[in-house]
Amino acid sequence: MENRFSEGTFDAVVIGAGHAGCEAALALARTGMKTALLTLNLDSIAFMACNPSIGGTAKGHLVREIDALGGEMGVIADKTMLQIKMLNRGKGAAVQSLRSQADKNRYHTEMKKVLENTQNLKIVQCEAVEILTKNGEVCGVRNSFGGIFECRAAVIATGVYLNGEIFAGEYKESSGPSGFAPSNGLTANLIELGFNVRRFKTGTPARIDGRTIDYSKCELQPGETNVYPFSYTTPALPSAQTPCYLTYTNERTHKIILDNIHRSPLYGGAIKGIGPRYCPSIEDKVKRFADKERHQIFLEPEGGDTHEVYVQGMSTSLPHDVQKAMYRTIPGLENCEIMRYAYAIEYDCIDTLDVLPTLAYKRVRGLYTAGQINGTSGYEEAAVQGLIAGANASLYLRGEPPLVLGRDEAYTGVLIDDLVTKGTNEPYRIMTSRAEYRLLLRQDNADFRLTEKGRRAGLVSDERYAIFLKRKELLAKAREEMELIRSPKDCATFIESHGGSLSGGISYKDMIKRNIPIDDICEYFNAFEGIPRDVLEMCETDARYEGYLGKALDQIEKAKRLEDRLLPPDIDYLSIDGLRIEARQKLDKIRPVSLGQASRISGVNPADIAVLMVYLRK
């Protein structure tokens, strides 16, 4: 019998200190909960095991939502930024997304510093191996040394560490990412608790010595200074930014890969886990897109204190000798020296159909899951789940209603609803195409959508809230000025210069609807003085798409009728006459909280929803 001893009594324990665990621990501690954060290694706190970047298409939306709710990722991303740019500038405002390169080591250091200086939070280096329960509730967490952390709630945020195995060609090793130790003790306990566990896989490219790159053969990719930061609390972006570079694979690269494809564990059968559809390995891309003559490769710095360069687009599990040969076929990399070789990693995760929209596990009260254990990929998806799981664990402990965001309120709501309603058979990533109300869920208005909700949950500090109230005041002022009518005498010449004509007075809003840029309006009329650039852009977008936004709001109102019809948790779906067998089985497994959620379950059709409505009326 192992020696067991007390490590203290806490309100909550967070297992894992990656991007999900950090946000969960901060949400709990900042709302007054005495919290223990357990990590296998203090040096892996907020570690970027893959690309040292924050944001990207739809992911930038998540980071702004994290910040609007009172989370930390946006603050640290701004503080450690090497470069930032706005993706999809040539497309509509709904799909434009911020993306930054972060200094990898500084990101870890700055987040660790925040955690260490947060009241109510204790950080402990150890491996959690058991969630202790009593009468169907969490009562503690045991580590591999026999230490017991007594608690009433726990958040599991173990990332890709559960039974982690790395692959490179014929080589296989039990390991977490980047040589960190795996967590081999917890999966068996999760199975005992009733979780459905499966294997997923992801990978990372090599890091090469930047001094051995010939950048003259690559295309410069500079950052931008005329964008807003991730965090609403960041006063300004750095003026000096580190460039990235673009290069391409070619026929020689593809030939080396195809000649050695039998040595890839992905194609040889050694890897059983399912990989991410939207971030395939280079061997996957060459096989799946055989008609493409080349693939983009981005060279991205890992930090200001290192020469390591991340080779985005070249994720692989091929053996080291093949890696060296194929990298050196790429323009600019002919003489490159690899500092860290690429690898694939396989790990355990759970089926999120076992999880509620609060991210609470259905079978154990007080137990929450967040991040890659939920089958997602990406730092941003992990962080926002950690924030919601931590917030809901705190609200549960305080006996208050949970924080659940709808699909019409946030990308966070889309992400979590997709996971708990549809599940995922591959590593999930958020995309703008997943959000049916994306014109409403833009980056620029995240605080107006979510800060009041974060404030009610206790996540938003007085300082952050004051910044929000000031922005709210400025937005109201700008919208008021938008409606002012200018006489034909004042603006006829201006309108004519933009190809239009006037029969009467016109407001700035109507000028924007005529596709006149707000910058031109500001310059000609000296309008909107004292209104920040990001607030002006928000006003411009709202005016330009006013008709579409109105239609979206009408659709939301109709959808809310189903969302507001709650389903009792104890319904016996298997005995409801009129439901098809598939619908009965799916409803019984997922146990949706509302008719709205039920309507989004794969295999439940409108006729089944009509049967449920009749059942509820009875």
pLDDT in tens, 185-235: 999 999 999 999 999 999 999 999 999 999 999 999 999 988 999 999 999
465: buried, middle or exposed (CB in 10 Å: 19+, 13-18, 0-12)?
middle
Interatomic CA distance for residues 269 and 279, integer angstroms:
20
Domain 207-345, CATH: 2.40.30.260
Delimiting residues of CATH 1.10.10.1800 domain(s) in the chain: 471-551
Segment 154-174, tens digit of pLDDT: 999 999 999 999 999 999 999
Helix (H) or strand (E) holding 300: strand 296-301
In the block, tokens 């020689």 appear at 252
Q: Pick from 530, 200, 213: which is nearest to 376 by CA?
A: 200
Segment 236-259, tens digit of pLDDT: 888 889 999 999 999 999 999 999
Q: How far separated are the first and last CA of the chain, in Å rounded?
A: 56
- Name the β-bridge partners of 124: 38
Cβ proximity of 316 and 256 under 8 Å: no
Delimiting residues of CATH 2.40.30.260 domain(s) in the chain: 207-345
Cβ neighbours of residue 578 closer than 8 Å, sequence gap 6 or more: 611, 614
Q: At what angle do helices 518-525 and 488-497 cross, to 10 degrees?
A: 130
Q: Which CATH number fits domain 564-617: 1.10.10.10, 1.10.150.570, 3.30.429.10, 3.40.50.1110?
A: 1.10.150.570
Question: Is the pLDDT score of 1 beyond 60?
Answer: no
Interatomic CA distance for residues 575 and 284, integer angstroms:
46
pLDDT tier, 276 (very low <50, low <70, confident <90, very high otherwise): confident
Cβ proximity of 342 and 291 under 8 Å: no
- 39 or 2: whose pLDDT is higher? 39
Question: Is the pLDDT score of 106 beyond 70?
Answer: yes
Interatomic CA distance for residues 76 and 230, integer angstroms:
9
Listed in order, strand segments (DSSP E) in 162-273 are: 165-168, 171-174, 197-204, 207-209, 219-221, 244-248
What percentage of the chain reaches a pLDDT higher than 70?
Answer: 100
Residue 56 phi/psi, 5° resolution? Answer: 125, 180
Interatomic CA distance for residues 416 and 593, integer angstroms:
13
Average pLDDT, the chain: 95
pLDDT of residue 2: 67
Segment 296-350, tens digit of pLDDT: 999 999 999 999 999 999 999 999 999 999 999 999 999 999 999 999 999 999 9
Q: Pick from 308, 285, 288, 305: which is nearest to 297 by CA?
A: 285
* 29, two tokens: 């501690």
Q: Residues in the chain, how many?
A: 618
Cβ proximity of 343 and 203 under 8 Å: yes
Q: At what angle do helices 462-482 and 446-456 cross, to 10 degrees?
A: 140
Question: Is the pLDDT score of 152 beyond 90?
Answer: yes
Interatomic CA distance for residues 509 and 527, integer angstroms:
12
Q: Which long-range contacts (CB under 8 A, 24 or more apart) does 194-198 make?
A: 194/354, 194/363, 194/364, 195/350, 195/351, 195/354, 195/361, 196/350, 196/351, 196/353, 196/354, 197/348, 197/349, 197/350, 197/351, 198/274, 198/348, 198/349, 198/350, 198/351
Averaged pLDDT for residues 542-565: 91
* 524, two tokens: 């000609």
pLDDT tier, 617 (very low <50, low <70, confident <90, very high otherwise): confident
8-state DSSP, 373:
G
Question: Is the pLDDT score of 39 beyond 60?
Answer: yes
Question: Is the pLDDT score of 116 beyond 60?
Answer: yes
8-state DSSP, 183:
B
Domain 471-551, CATH: 1.10.10.1800
Segment 352-373, tens digit of pLDDT: 999 999 999 999 999 999 999 9
| Parallel, antiparallel or unpaired: strands 12-15 and 35-39 | parallel
Segment 443-485, tens digit of pLDDT: 999 999 999 999 999 999 999 999 999 999 999 999 999 999 9
Interatomic CA distance for residues 552 and 231, integer angstroms:
27
Cβ proximity of 101 and 300 under 8 Å: yes
8-state DSSP, 227:
S
Q: Pick from 242, 228, 276: which is nearest to 98 by CA?
A: 228
* 480, two tokens: 């008021």
pLDDT tier, 616 (very low <50, low <70, confident <90, very high otherwise): confident
Segment 45-74, tens digit of pLDDT: 999 999 999 999 999 999 999 999 999 999
Q: For residue 171, give the 3-state DSSP assignment.
A: strand
Interatomic CA distance for residues 20 and 352, integer angstroms:
16
Q: Pick from 483, 595, 470: which is nearest to 535 by CA?
A: 470
pLDDT tier, 267 (very low <50, low <70, confident <90, very high otherwise): confident
